[in-house]
């Protein structure tokens, strides 16, 4: 009796499941028998068409080849005609003007018509033809004086600049700048015309600066801006190096004007657009301006120590530019570069005020400042400025290292001229170069590896030499005159290299990956150099007490390094 209700409940549950299954089957059959909706016509997918690459038309190739062949034939013909006496000087000059003017006119038509590449190439040929025709009229045929020929070239350059402004072509402006910069060399007659040359360059820079500023497209004309800066300051170098003492004050004033024009070329290529790489352009102009001012200061026979005053003025100028240029760029893009320039000028002004021989560390101070500025710019997400500053710092650090390598041995290898330790230009150059290389190693990559190798050389050799100078300075009596360091000074160099190798080896044990391998390799290298120098050099030159000191010192350094490494990194020797 007790099992009957359970059987009834089970039967009822089974009946419910069957009913649900039948309902689902009925729904599926009805859906299958229902008419299918009409298919929606699908749109054909557009076939992607590759954008055709802009290639030079075969017509351009044929025209260029035909023009080149025709030009060679014309040269041979004119040479033959001159030999036969058919073409006089007047006719040759007139044909040169007609040919150059025609080529330049065709170039302008192409530039304004849209084919800028061909037009710029023809413009270069046309301006070159006119320039050498004007030179022949002045220098060979003596139709007019050379300054008048230079003025004619300047006028043609001005017309080319107007063409660049109308077509908004940076290539045309670059060609015009090249023509204007080459003209003084073409019409040079010797003699001292440095003031006239500097004034001509100032007018050229001011006139051509209007093109990128008014067109509002100069922020992308890197070729024109770099051509203007480097070409102008290259010619200014010859002027500052050869100027007479009477003309030096005038040239100094014009040099300040050129520094202002260089700032305009760097910071004001357009109205609202942000210029590309302005900090690097200004850095180059500022460094060159300081160097050229030093040449003029020397030409004026002024006290070398007083040159610290204009250097401090340039440092203040760079600090004063921080706020207006921050407003011009709308960011802090130029802050670190300007601060680095200011620090570099201050670092130069102090030693210059003490002695002129301290001018050597100028490159090292700038290199250290540029390397620091590159790290700050990269941290501020200014990748383009950071890369340019980094390579500029590497170039200056290389120049400093080369100068230190060639001039930093004086006073150590010639014992009669021992320099005071740590208070000499050689140590300043080596220390500043090492600091710049150390900052550049933090970036990594190929430049980081090169910087690490340069750091090893400059830092270890500089410290070893200063230790040797210190020993020789403290020795009583002083070592006799001769070549090379004293015996005790040589052993001091060995101990410094052994200590540096041991320290880097211990540092490498706590690093990972690339830094570990680099530091371990450097440690083994310098400990090996110290051991080899100890055996091959120090043993022959030292008496018994010094030999004992050398072996005790190097051995103690090695044992101390091993003990400390075991205490701090026991897993390395487990």
258 or 444, which is more confident: 258
Please identify, among 462, 494, 526, the residue that sits at the C-terminal boundary of a domain.
462
Does residue 530 lie within any of the structural domains? yes
Residue 101 domain flag: no
CA angle 427, 432, 433 (to 5 degrees): 100
Q: Specify whether 402 is located in the same domain as 533.
A: no
**HEC string of 475-524?**
CCCCCCCCECCCHHHHHHHHHHHHHHHHHHHHHHHCCCHHHHHHHHHHHH
Hunting for tokens 């600091």 — which residue is that?
435
Are 502 and 456 found together in one domain? no
Residue-number span of the structural domain to which 511 is assigned:
486-573
Please indicate, yes or no, if residue 226 is contained in any of the structural domains. no
For residue 351, the model assigns a pLDDT of 65
Identify whether residues 392 and 433 lie together within a single domain: yes
Q: Do 428 and 503 belong together in one domain?
A: no
Domain co-membership, 538 together with 395:
no
- Of residues 152 and 6, more confidently modeled: 152
**16: pLDDT strictly greater than 90:** no
d(CA 414, CA 417): 6
Question: Strand pairing partners for 483?
Answer: 414
Confidence of residue 412 (pLDDT cuts 50, 70, 90): low
Is the separation of the CB atoms in 157 and 172 below 8 Å?
Answer: no
50 falls within a domain: no
Q: What is the pLDDT of residues 198-241, one digit of tens each?
A: 999 998 888 888 887 777 766 667 788 888 888 999 999 988 88
Shared-domain flag, residues 492 and 446: no
**Residue 78 pLDDT more than 70?**
no
Is there a single domain that holds both residue 449 and residue 493?
no
CB burial readout 433-471, b (16+ within 10 A) else e: bbbbbbbbbebeeebbeebbebbbbbbbbbbbbbbbbeb
pLDDT at 555 > cutoff 50: yes
Token pair, residue 54, equals 């802009």
Do 452 and 367 lie in one domain? The reply is yes
412 with 535, same domain: the answer is no
How many domains is the chain built from? 2
- How would residue 137 be classed by pLDDT, with cut points 50, 70 and 90? confident
Give the pLDDT of residue 220.
67
Cβ-contact 425, 475 below 8 angstroms: no
Contact 336, 376 (CB under 8 A): yes
Residue 93 has pLDDT above 80, yes or no: yes
Assigned domain for 54 exists: no
Q: Over 80: is that where the pLDDT of 182 sits?
A: yes
Burial 278-289 (b: 16+ CB within 10 A, else e): bbbbbbbbbbbb
Residue 291 belongs to a domain: no
Task: Say whether pLDDT at 381 is over 70.
Answer: no
Same domain, 416 and 382: yes
Residue 479's pLDDT is 53
- Which has the minimum average pLDDT: 236-245, 304-313, 408-417? 408-417
381 and 519 in a common domain: no
Q: What pLDDT sits at residue 284? A: 86
| 548 vs 99, residue with greater confidence | 99
**What are residue 358's phi and psi, to 5 degrees?**
-85, 0
Are residues 427 and 344 part of one domain?
yes
Q: Alpha-carbon distance 266 to 337, whole Å?
A: 13
| 480-494: b (≥16 Cβ within 10 Å) or e | eeeeebbbbbbbbbb
Domain annotation covers residue 275 = no
Confidence of residue 70 (pLDDT cuts 50, 70, 90): low
Confidence at residue 299, expressed as pLDDT on a 0 to 100 scale? 87
Quick one: pLDDT at residue 574?
44
Interval 241-259 mean pLDDT: 90
* Structural domain contains residue 156: no
pTM of the full predicted structure?
Answer: 0.58
């Amino acid at each position: 009796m007790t099992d009957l209700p359970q059987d009834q409940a089970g039967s009822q549950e089974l009946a419910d499941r069957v009913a649900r299954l039948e309902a689902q089957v009925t729904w599926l059959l009805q859906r299958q028998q229902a008419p299918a909706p009409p298919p929606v016509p699908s749109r054909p997918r557009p076939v992607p068409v590759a954008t055709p690459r802009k290639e030079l038309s075969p017509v351009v190739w044929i025209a260029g080849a035909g023009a080149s062949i025709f030009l060679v034939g014309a040269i041979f013909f004119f040479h033959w005609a001159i030999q036969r006496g058919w073409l006089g000087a007047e006719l040759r000059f007139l044909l040169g003007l007609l040919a150059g003017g025609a080529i330049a006119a065709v170039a302008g038509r192409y530039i304004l018509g849209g084919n800028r590449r061909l037009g710029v190439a023809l413009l270069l040929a046309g301006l070159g033809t006119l320039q050498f025709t004007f030179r022949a009229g002045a220098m060979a045929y003596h139709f007019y004086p050379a300054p008048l020929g230079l003025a004619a070239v300047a006028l043609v350059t001005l017309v080319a600049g107007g063409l660049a402004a109308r077509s908004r072509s940076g290539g045309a402006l670059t060609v015009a700048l090249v023509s204007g910069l080459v003209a003084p060399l073409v019409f040079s007659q010797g003699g001292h015309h440095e003031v006239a040359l500097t004034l001509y360059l100032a007018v050229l820079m001011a006139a051509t600066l209007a093109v990128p500023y008014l067109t509002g497209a100069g922020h992308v004309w890197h070729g024109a801006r770099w051509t203007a800066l480097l070409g102008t300051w290259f010619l200014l170098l010859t002027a500052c190096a050869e100027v007479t003492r009477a003309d030096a004050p005038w040239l100094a004033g014009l040099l300040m004007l050129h520094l202002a024009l260089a700032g305009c070329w760097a910071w004001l290529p357009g109205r609202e657009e942000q210029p590309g790489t302005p900090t690097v352009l200004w850095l180059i102009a500022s460094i060159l301006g300081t160097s050229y001012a030093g040449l003029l200061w020397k030409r004026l026979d002024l006290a070398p120590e007083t040159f610290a005053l204009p250097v401090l003025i340039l440092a203040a100028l760079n600090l004063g530019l921080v706020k207006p240029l921050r407003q011009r760029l709308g960011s802090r893009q130029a802050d670190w570069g300007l601060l680095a320039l200011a620090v570099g000028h201050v670092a130069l002004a102090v030693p210059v005020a003490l002695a002129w021989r301290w001018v050597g560390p100028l490159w090292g101070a700038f290199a250290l400042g540029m390397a620091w500025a590159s790290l700050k710019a990269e941290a501020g997400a200014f990748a383009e400025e950071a890369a340019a500053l980094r390579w500029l710092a590497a170039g200056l650090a290389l120049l400093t290292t080369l100068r230190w390598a060639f001039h930093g041995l004086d006073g150590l290898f010639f014992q009669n001229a021992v320099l005071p330790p740590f208070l000499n230009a050689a140590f300043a150059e080596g220390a500043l170069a090492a600091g710049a290389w150390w900052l550049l190693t933090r970036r990594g990559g190929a430049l980081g590896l090169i910087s690490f190798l340069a750091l090893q050389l400059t830092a270890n050799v500089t410290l070893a030499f200063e230790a040797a100078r210190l020993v020789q300075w403290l020795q009583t009596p002083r070592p006799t005159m001769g070549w090379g360091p004293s015996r005790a000074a040589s052993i001091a160099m060995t101990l410094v290299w052994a200590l540096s190798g041991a320290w880097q080896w211990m540092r490498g044990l706590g690093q990972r990956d690339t830094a570990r391998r680099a530091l371990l390799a450097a440690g083994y290298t310098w400990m090996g150099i110290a051991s080899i120098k100890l055996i091959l050099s120090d043993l022959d030159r030292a008496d018994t007490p010094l030999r004992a000191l050398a072996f005790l010192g190097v051995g103690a350094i090695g044992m101390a390094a091993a003990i400390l490494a075991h205490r701090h990194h026991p897993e390395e020797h487990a």
